Structure 1
Amino acid sequence: MLPRGTSSPLCRMNESSPDGLLFNDHDFSSELLRQLNGFRQNSILTDVSICAGAWEVPCHRNVLASSSPYFRAMFCSNFRESSEAKVQLKGVNSMTLDQIVLYVYTGAVHITADNVLPLMEAASMLQYPKLFEACSSYLQSQLTPSNCLGMIRLSEILSCKTLKKKAREVALTYFPEVSASADLKELCALELRDYLGDDGLCGEEEKVFEALMVWIKHDLQARKRYMQDLFRLVRLQYIHPAFFHHFIANDALLQSSPSCQVILETAKRQMFPLYGATSAPDLQPPWHIPPRNSYQDFLILLGGRKDNQQTTRDVLLYNRQTGQWQSLAKLPTRLYKAAAVSLHRSVYVLGGMAVGAQKSVPSHNVYVFSLKLNQWSLGQPMLAARYSHRSTAHKNFIFSIGGIGEGQEVMGSMERFDSICNVWESVASMPVEVLHPAVAVKDQRLYLFGGEDIMQNPVRLIQVYHISRNTWFKMETRMIKNVCAPAVVLGERIVIVGGYTRRILAYDPQSNKFVKCADMKDRRMHHGATVMGNKLYVTGGRRLTTDCTIEDSASFDCYDPETDTWTSQGQLPHKLFDHACLTLQCIPHTSTFP
């Protein structure tokens, strides 16, 4: 008997833990399952045999009934199998039956390439959803561009949504590789339409067109009737004009369809307005459709003076998604005050002063950069060597304007590169020879704003070149006083960005009027500017301080026309001026499929 006033240990425990003790044996259920599996293996207390043909596996009804709704219905209802000693499972082979029973009693099964399909079918029939999804996960891990279309077929047979979703992602992400597989030729018209019309398809439109034509020609008589509807899904406005000109415009199969002819004529008129394509008012392709989601805008900086040292060969890429800068293949040579434009998913670097060890001379060379390959190649050279010139691109043309020539003379000449025919040709010279104007193209007209004359005096002119007519006219204006300033097209207006001033001017070609925008923080010149996502990005340059000294800049700023505000995007990797700054729209390189 406890001494007076002493409580029992049980009472003390209850006082400290009023709800008692919850004991949880984590090993009990697995040990129980292990014991039941041992009973099964030794046919102890087994009361039913599951059969696949002549193959029999002794089991316990209560274990099977507890493991799946399929067996619960079989053994706990008034079905004939509830009282039979042997139960046949149709559509399940002996090896798969063993694996299913092993899974029921152990929760484990080894999935391989040889057994995954019969195991998945059995898991579906016998209602083991986790095993079914495990098989799906294994198949997803085996997906490649060459088998993904077949996997989609399989997922539809098995009603497996997760496998179908993943296989479709692979098909869209690696469409160029998928289009080379034999399975693509076996798609029905609706299935192909589903792919070609998907915004998420990752592949250049040239590949989309090629895939379509391969599919049609595989069974021409049966599939020709689908050609018009499917051809309309090819976004012709994003196809390289040279490819369109050489491989699409005069394709005999497309020409045999009157409806496709109308689409082709409309595309010609949109792509080649200078070539006088005939009018096609009906069935116009939807030219307002944006590029597929796989296309991204990348900001690229090329050359220029780095950290106030000699002209650099560096090429930098900025990814808006990550906010990171990365180095690309360097320019083939040092080029002082070259010009650069983006055209057809490539960068063209034109002329410049070729900086050599012995002598620097103006160049007429053209270098072409492929972001997809991260490689430079030599293009068709310009007619005249020039540097400190301006260049711009429009449709399938590049214009190279003015600059300084081989005799150090200020040039008023302009030449035009036709990317379809791969030739340069002389066009009308500018009315007034100027250096360092702001240049932009809008609505079939090329605009030169300001600049300076040979005496370095600002020129208060807008010089306008009508592209299809090959004629110039000029307008005097007191609003213009820019030198070494870039111009960009932002919406319906041309924006002149600084140029020995903080001022940002937006010019409306329709009304011939200027609107002042929010000023930059600094008076800038020799900087770069480009547009991405309807916002203006300004890079580097030189700035005039309040005491009129000149400093190199590494600033990286963004202007939003919706709010008329500037925000800093951080800093460039280094100070930079007299560089090229442009936007390149392309599909990021997809790494080889593992």
Structure 2
Amino acid sequence: MSVSSHENRKSRSSSGSMNIHLFHKTSHADSLLTQLNLLRKRRVFTDVVLCAGNRAFPCHRAVLASCSRYFEAMFNGGLKESRDAEVNFHDSLHPEVLELLLDYAYSARIIINEENAESLLEAGDMLQFHDIRDASAEFLEKNLHPSNCLGMMLLSDAHQCQRLYELSWRMCLANFATLYRTEDFLSLPKDKVQDLIFSEELEVEDESVVYEAVIDWVKADMDRRLSDLPELLRCVRLALLPETYLLKNVVSEEMVMGDKTLLSRVTYNLISFFTQVGQGSVRSLAQGLLLV
């Protein structure tokens, strides 16, 4: 249709009234995504290839940039990838996980399950598919259990999932008496161990559980962790331990007895406490330890 024909029609129909009609096809967005996905699978108009592991995924930059700030910045900035026809994630991203994210980008649908939720959370955070990160975190919240709460605490802390972190943290505190014997606990970094045992909300029947948790954690990697023992023992309320437990476990522990500085710090703390409460026998023992 020519420009003049359109202008003539406009002038004939202009009556000054507001006789208009808005046409809105609600299925248009789904149809558009479906067609874009078909084009992707046929490799039509694709202008970048994402590689992960030994697999390659032809894609459209515009689609990726629309779904992810990561890709928007990559393709719109001065990075080398903005000009390259290929972006290689090597082994930093599993190809199956990347495929799930791309399927979501082109369909707005993704299946999250127990096998892929953690990987999707990590990849969603890495590539700034924030909807996927948050959906995965919500899935993990619903499947949180004492058997996985330590791992969920670390995962959510690393990827800024605040609600998942808070729920995991509370579960760790509530189940510490059983968790401290697990491999997950023995694998925790020092700062998390310290945060847990120092928390006022830690639920344990007596302080011996906290002491044993510290000792077991250090013994799990003696060469690297022995130097952390003094700092961690400051978080243990040794004065709350029964006299028999102190005699049998604390003062006979080789790691404590073998470190004069640590031994002095422990015994000075005990002397101060037992002087206040009047337990002379243990106070004498503590004073004797300082002379060993």
TM-score above 0.5: yes
The residue number in structure 2 matching 1:72 is 72
- Counterpart of 1:30 in 2: which secondary structure? helix
Equivalent residue for 1:244, pick from 224, 242, 247: 242
Q: 1:169 to 1:274 in 2, by over 3 A?
A: closer
Deviations 1:563-594 (A, max 9, x none): xxxxxxxxxxxxxxxxxxxxxxxxxxxxxxxx
Equivalent residue for 2:264, pick from 255, 258, 266: 258
- Counterpart of 2:36 in 1: which secondary structure? helix
Please, which runs of 5 or more residues in structure 2 have no aligned partner?
1-14, 258-262, 288-292
CA contact 1:195–1:201 (8 Å) conserved in 2: yes
Deviations 1:231-271 (A, max 9, x none): 3433356x4xxx60221245333683233223334444455
In the alignment, structure 1 residue 148 sits paired with structure 2 residue 145: no
Deviation at 1:103, TM superposition (A): 0.8
Within 2, Cα distance between the matches of 1:93 and 1:277? 58
- Counterpart of 2:39 in 1: which secondary structure? helix
Which region of structure 1 is more displaced relative to structure 2, 102-111 or 193-202? Answer: 193-202
The residue number in structure 2 matching 1:122 is 123
CA contact 2:218–2:229 (8 Å) conserved in 1: yes
Deviations 1:183-204 (A, max 9, x none): 3334454433222211121222
Within 1, Cα distance between the matches of 2:87 and 2:231? 54
The residue number in structure 1 matching 2:27 is 27
Between Structure 1 and Structure 2, the one with more strand by share is 1
The residue number in structure 1 matching 2:233 is 231
What CA RMSD, in Å, does the superposition of the two structures yield over aligned residues?
A: 3.9
Q: 1:23 to 1:249 in 2, by over 3 A?
A: farther
Please, which runs of 5 or more residues in structure 1 have no aligned partner?
1-8, 15-19, 283-594
Q: 1:123 to 1:236 in 2, by over 3 A?
A: same
TM-score (norm 1): 0.37
Within 1, Cα distance between the matches of 2:265 and 2:117? 48
Q: Which has the higher contact order (CA 8 A, sep 6+)?
A: 2
The residue number in structure 2 matching 1:55 is 55
Q: 1:85 to 1:152 in 2, by over 3 A?
A: same
Aligned residues: 262
Give, as a single letter, the amino acid of the residue that structure 2 aligns with 1:213: I
- Counterpart of 2:110 in 1: which secondary structure? coil
Deviation at 1:132, TM superposition (A): 1.9
Deviation at 1:105, TM superposition (A): 0.9
Matches within 5 A, 1:545-556: none
Q: 1:261 to 1:94 in 2, by over 3 A?
A: closer
Within 2, Cα distance between the matches of 1:265 and 1:34? 75
Matches within 5 A, 1:479-494: none
TM-score (norm 2): 0.69
Deviations 1:129-183 (A, max 9, x none): 1212223333444443343333444445x43343444432322221112112123
Pick the structure with greater CA Rg: 1
Equivalent residue for 1:215, pick from 214, 217, 220: 217
Q: 1:117 to 1:189 in 2, by over 3 A?
A: closer
The residue number in structure 1 matching 2:12 is none
Give, as a single letter, the amino acid of the residue that structure 2 aligns with 1:191: K
Q: 1:124 to 1:10 in 2, by over 3 A?
A: same
Identity across aligned pairs (percent)?
Answer: 31
CA contact 1:99–1:109 (8 Å) conserved in 2: yes
Matches within 5 A, 1:13-412: 25-52=25-52, 55-77=55-77, 81-82=81-82, 85-90=85-90, 91-155=92-156, 158-162=158-162, 163-206=164-207, 207-218=209-220, 226-235=228-237, 239=240, 244-251=242-249, 252-253=251-252, 256=257, 257-271=263-277, 273=278, 278=283
The residue number in structure 2 matching 1:455 is none
- Counterpart of 1:192 in 2: which secondary structure? helix
Within 2, Cα distance between the matches of 1:253 and 1:223? 19
CA contact 1:269–1:277 (8 Å) conserved in 2: no
Within 1, Cα distance between the matches of 2:146 and 2:201? 16
Give, as a single letter, the amino acid of the residue that structure 2 aligns with 1:210: E
Within 1, Cα distance between the matches of 2:57 and 2:183? 42
